[in-house]
Structure 1
Amino acid sequence: MTLPVPGFAAHLADRPEDIALVRCRRGTSRTTTRGELVRDAHALAERLHEAGVRPGHKAVVMTRDAHDLTALAYALGVLGAVPVLIEPRAEVGRCLEDVAPDVFIGEPLAHLGRRVLGWGRTHVRVPLVTRAAPRALGERLTVPGQRNGGPAGRPGGADPSDPPPPPDLSPPSLLSPPEALSLRPEDPEGDPLAMIAFTSGSTGRPKGAEYRHSTLAGQIAALRTLLDPRPEDVLLAGFLPIALLGPLLGPATVVPAVNPLAPARTRPEEILGPILRHRVTTVLASPAVLGLLAGHCARHRLTLPTVRQILSFGAPLRTGLADALRAAVPAEAEVLSVYGATECLPVSACDDHALRAARAEPPAGQAGTCLGRPLPGVHARILDADATGLGEIAVAGPTVSPAYHARPEADAATKSVTDHGVLHRTGDLGRLDEEGRLWFLGRKAHLVTGTGFTLPTEDIEAAADTAPGVRRTALVGAGPAVCQLPVLCVEVEPSASRPEALAAVRNVLAEHPEGHRVGAVLPHRRFPVDPRHNSKIDRMRLAGWATRRLRGRLR
């Protein structure tokens, strides 16, 4: 067995009756204990083996069910196969071209897309369908076109050669910890590929980040440092893949019915209800999901008395949202903005008190948003820095994905080897201050290049977002590169006066050292955002919109 984290065996063996997962939907919930999760993984591994899944196979898993996703990922690990996670809204066809999967496991809707759009047509030899039913997943994992729930059998096209003997699925096999593995990056055979997770594609073509077992172990260790989990903790996963980590982190994991295709359109009650019913102590979610929760609590004068930690990830946490969250939790609770990416998660964290202090009185020469200090074992550098210390944030350490799958050109552009392991260029602009804290200035690709100057996005946006009546802002460049007109797009709060909010933004710009460079302030009803977290702004689309609005001025 090759589950990634030392001590995993002890967690399950010592506490088999403890809750592992709680799946919530429309006011109801289904609970799975740790022992049941082990048994489900056993049953699934047997069924997958019967269907033709073999060690080394890459298996795309597309399901919205937290239990199915987790049990399938663990079962694939038992067999030595590699789970592949792809956003259903991303460029799935191109992702599958990169990964060339042998296996495709998904809900009927995912298989409809596979057939109609030809996803993985030349590679997938083992297609399997998960069918929603109250029975165990192992009893409803079927081959497309199969009429009953009997054994999956070997689908047409699978390797007809003599199969290897069935895997040893006894509890010691499933639960044995991987201390015997060599986790040195230069020894890939001793540190096999554990998972491929595709980026969201919000800043370009999605890429498959490879996680070795040491990568997952490093990520779990870093998250444990952040969470400092207690036996009585209950974790709410506002992003489905977090369900994979719940049993490894320790706390019972509650997965609310967040809309997987549009998180920002989730009903707030679907988040609040599970928190109150299951006495959640730790919330992990994106700013979009946390904004729904905080807004609902403010409107209805509700509080979250059991919550002791909120971790925001996926986009910078603004002080306005931090204030709203702070008002809903006990005074001693911790509100953290966590920085990282699919290729390196987590990197650093900054609590809301430090975030406000840094915004109010930034150190001399610093600007943007404070990301806090890198976590233990994580090493941050600033590459290609200018005279002010502004450059590209690069990260090395145990949480860093060592490579992209089948994308050597992307590896060449972003990866290098250092004394601390693989160094990954994040594409983010930032600085390191004298206290060793990281500061974020925006994406390198989003620099606004005017005539004789460049503007990073984050410094101006973080200031403008504090204006009364403003939900958020986005700085984009209108017109051709090198002579762009800086335009600040403004999303006004629904309850605010648009003229007053825009006037407040202009007042902030008048006080900002670079505010005079902004050539236009444009109101926008709702910014286009990334599909995964609904928190990162799609600046290319927004810049196109601004360019069309200002076409007369740009001639």
Structure 2
Amino acid sequence: MTPASAGIFTRLSRLTEQPQATVLVRCTGPVSAEDVTAAQLLDGCLRTADALRSTGVRRGDKAVVMTRDAYRLVAAVYALTSLGAVPVLIEPRAEVRRCLDEIAPGVFIGEPLAHVARRALGWGRGHVRTALVTGRDFPGRGRLLGRSLPLAVPDGSGPGPHVPEPRAEDLAMIAFTSGSTGQPKGVEYRYTTLAGQLGALDAVLRPEAGDVLLSCFLPFAALGPLLGLTTVAPQVDHLAPARTPPGHLVGPLLRHRADIVLGSPAILGLIAGHCARHGLTLPSVRRVLSFGAPLRPRLVELLASALPPGAEILSVYGATECLPATAIDADELRALRVQPPPDHSGTCLGRPLPGVGACVLDADATGLGEIAVAGPVVSPAYHARPDATGAAKSLTDGTLWHRTGDLGRLDDEGRLWYLGRTAHLVTGDGFTLTTEDVEAAADIASGVRRTALVGVGPAGRQRAVLCVEPERGARRDAVLDALRASLGGHHHGRRIGTVLFHPRFPTDIRHNSKIDRARLAEYASGGRR
């Protein structure tokens, strides 16, 4: 086993021990896929590094990588880091131009569509000096978009890269936050940060020799091989994950007999729903990891019905700046929903992972405050954003703490409880409501797919509106009756001034799981009951 504290190149070098073992599976649909062996991946990294070096990419260069292909992403990221360059990961969105102006990347690596957007929308204009296009060539591509960087899977006959482990504090990568609760920010990962995250992931994944991981979040495909896992990357619609055809997820899962499944609640809901509709089970799966949004009981029940006895479902908490931080098993989560500790509400996030610390800052008389996380998983800064770094990072007795922007409490067992975002507090005349306190109770009502509490009006005089996304075919009067029953005994139930139905909540683009409350509040301000 690789030591938990091992860095990325130490872990990468371990792949040479089994050169013909499959380390990555790139899927192009429900059935078709290409296996990539350790020898092929290492050979590809070296060839890609040579190609990048020939174009002038050097140590310290910041390089945007924008591709939906798992192998091309992994090869480009590994090759860039082997050169000492800094990969920059960001989703295509309206704010890309502002984000790239902020970090000033000199290199842009991406598929043709990404370069079309770069040219049309001015991404990196004035900064990008080297434009490299992945994928198949076509006439005029070099003149229109940039130089070719095919990134084809090699035969594996060449050597792999031999790179000494860099200094722990060197900048390794910049990954942008999703922007679902504010402007996207570039999070700096040092090599020590990546080593800490890999160690924490070892603890939560608990991989065994020969394990197969179905990774439904593309950036994680770059970490799976470093964890010793055969990583299957299904063809997810990365611009709208919830619109992914479920067969593109379940097909590869069954075909490659995945032991571990990792995905957001939206993706896991597609898998569970497909299995329920088609009478399928997932006999090989022994562990499911949910991340990106709270895990609700109805999804747990649907997943459990497709899993074998004894399979574990975990809800993992963290953020781009500190991932992973805590985890909780669905069985414990279910028991705590039925009988929470005294004076605790919302959703339990579980205990901090080994080496990770959690505390609640600026707590009020009830223990409610802002969740902060410390440990090797915590990024040290936002790139080129000293104001944001100063607001979110604090050093106490030599320990760096990251303020998450989430509200929570710690119970007597050392478990962290989530109450919602600080920015989403609903404040009215004589009351303050946290979103998760109300929604965790409302979401269990029959006929409800999910709910969202928003405030309408100026802070301090807001009207509390509960937006409801009903299940397909649910009758509104029946849903309202179920909500009254669920919230009737809730200590803040009487504060809900309006219940407003919405056909489909707007969500974040990364996971399609975090609710866009700003847009919902705008809808509620002029909506109908």
TM range (shorter): over 0.9
Matches within 5 A, 1:97-496: 97-132=101-136, 143-145=142-144, 174-176=161-163, 178=165, 183=168, 191-419=169-397, 421-496=399-474
C-alpha distance in 2, partners of 1:467/1:150? 52
Q: Cα deviations across residues 91-130 of structure 1 (Å, max 9, x unaligned)? A: 1001101110010011111111111111111111111111
- What one-letter code is carried by the residue in structure 2 that aligns with 1:242? F
2:89 alignment counterpart: 85
CA-CA distance at 1:144 after TM superposition: 4.9
CA-CA distance at 1:482 after TM superposition: 1.1
1:69 to 66, 70, 73: 73
What's the secondary structure of 2:249's corresponding residue?
Answer: helix
494-503 or 515-524: which moved more? 494-503
What's the secondary structure of 1:511's corresponding residue?
Answer: coil
- What one-letter code is carried by the residue in structure 2 that aligns with 1:425? R
- What one-letter code is carried by the residue in structure 1 that aligns with 2:431? F
Q: 1:16 to 1:501 in 2, by over 3 A?
A: same
1:17 to 16, 20, 32: 20
C-alpha distance in 1, partners of 2:120/2:206? 46
Q: Name the TM-score, length of structure 1 as normaliser.
A: 0.90
1:504 to 475, 479, 482: 482
Q: Cα deviations across residues 378-430 of structure 1 (Å, max 9, x unaligned)? A: 01010000000000000010000100000011011100113463210000000
C-alpha distance in 2, partners of 1:402/1:287? 28
What's the secondary structure of 1:549's corresponding residue?
Answer: coil
CA-CA distance at 1:16 after TM superposition: 1.2
1:547 is the counterpart of 2:521: no
CA-CA distance at 1:171 after TM superposition: 5.1
What's the secondary structure of 2:314's corresponding residue?
Answer: strand
Q: 1:408 to 1:277 in 2, by over 3 A?
A: same
- Which runs of 5 or more residues in structure 1 are unaligned? 134-138, 153-169, 184-190
The answer to whether the 8 Å contact 1:8/1:175 transfers is no
Q: 1:514 to 1:195 in 2, by over 3 A?
A: same
What's the secondary structure of 1:458's corresponding residue?
Answer: helix
- What value does the CA root-mean-square deviation take over the aligned residues? 2.1
CA-CA distance at 1:521 after TM superposition: 0.8
Q: Cα deviations across residues 44-95 of structure 1 (Å, max 9, x unaligned)? A: 1111111111110000000000000000000001111000000112510011
C-alpha distance in 1, partners of 2:323/2:149? 41
Q: Cα deviations across residues 177-198 of structure 1 (Å, max 9, x unaligned)? A: 52xx553xxxxxxx20000000
What's the secondary structure of 1:403's corresponding residue?
Answer: coil
Q: Cα deviations across residues 245-303 of structure 1 (Å, max 9, x unaligned)? A: 01111110001111111100111111000010000110000000000111111112211
C-alpha distance in 2, partners of 1:111/1:10? 33
1:8 to 2, 8, 11: 11
- What one-letter code is carried by the residue in structure 1 that aligns with 2:57? V
Q: 1:90 to 1:395 in 2, by over 3 A?
A: farther
1:38 to 16, 37, 42: 42
1:94 alignment counterpart: 98
The answer to whether the 8 Å contact 2:327/2:352 transfers is yes
- What one-letter code is carried by the residue in structure 1 that aligns with 2:64? V
Q: 1:143 to 1:72 in 2, by over 3 A?
A: farther
2:509 alignment counterpart: 531
The answer to whether the 8 Å contact 2:133/2:147 transfers is no
What's the secondary structure of 1:31's corresponding residue?
Answer: strand
The answer to whether the 8 Å contact 2:131/2:146 transfers is no
The answer to whether the 8 Å contact 2:447/2:470 transfers is yes
C-alpha distance in 1, partners of 2:28/2:150? 30
C-alpha distance in 1, partners of 2:365/2:148? 66
1:28 alignment counterpart: 32
The answer to whether the 8 Å contact 2:428/2:461 transfers is yes
The answer to whether the 8 Å contact 2:242/2:512 transfers is yes
Q: 1:132 to 1:38 in 2, by over 3 A?
A: same
- What one-letter code is carried by the residue in structure 2 that aligns with 1:509? L
The answer to whether the 8 Å contact 1:8/1:177 transfers is no
What's the secondary structure of 2:373's corresponding residue?
Answer: strand
C-alpha distance in 1, partners of 2:505/2:149? 48
CA-CA distance at 1:495 after TM superposition: 3.2
C-alpha distance in 2, partners of 1:127/1:513? 57
- What one-letter code is carried by the residue in structure 1 that aligns with 2:15? L
CA-CA distance at 1:469 after TM superposition: 1.0
Q: 1:357 to 1:217 in 2, by over 3 A?
A: same
CA-CA distance at 1:231 after TM superposition: 1.3
Q: 1:200 to 1:294 in 2, by over 3 A?
A: same
C-alpha distance in 2, partners of 1:150/1:306? 37
The answer to whether the 8 Å contact 1:9/1:175 transfers is no
- What one-letter code is carried by the residue in structure 1 that aligns with 2:11? F
C-alpha distance in 1, partners of 2:463/2:12? 58
- What one-letter code is carried by the residue in structure 2 that aligns with 1:31? D
C-alpha distance in 1, partners of 2:63/2:43? 21
Q: Cα deviations across residues 139-185 of structure 1 (Å, max 9, x unaligned)? A: 99x85548996999xxxxxxxxxxxxxxxxx958x24452xx553xx
1:521 to 494, 499, 509: 499
- What one-letter code is carried by the residue in structure 1 that aligns with 2:133? V
- What one-letter code is carried by the residue in structure 1 that aligns with 2:25? V
The answer to whether the 8 Å contact 2:142/2:148 transfers is no
C-alpha distance in 2, partners of 1:271/1:147? 33
- Which runs of 5 or more residues in structure 2 are unaligned? 1-5, 152-157
Q: Percent identity?
A: 61
388-397 or 417-426: which moved more? 417-426
C-alpha distance in 2, partners of 1:144/1:492? 51
Q: 1:148 to 1:205 in 2, by over 3 A?
A: closer
The answer to whether the 8 Å contact 2:369/2:408 transfers is yes
The answer to whether the 8 Å contact 2:292/2:511 transfers is yes
1:162 alignment counterpart: none
2:155 alignment counterpart: none
The answer to whether the 8 Å contact 1:76/1:82 transfers is yes
C-alpha distance in 1, partners of 2:352/2:444? 26
C-alpha distance in 2, partners of 1:56/1:524? 48
What's the secondary structure of 1:527's corresponding residue?
Answer: coil
1:186 alignment counterpart: none
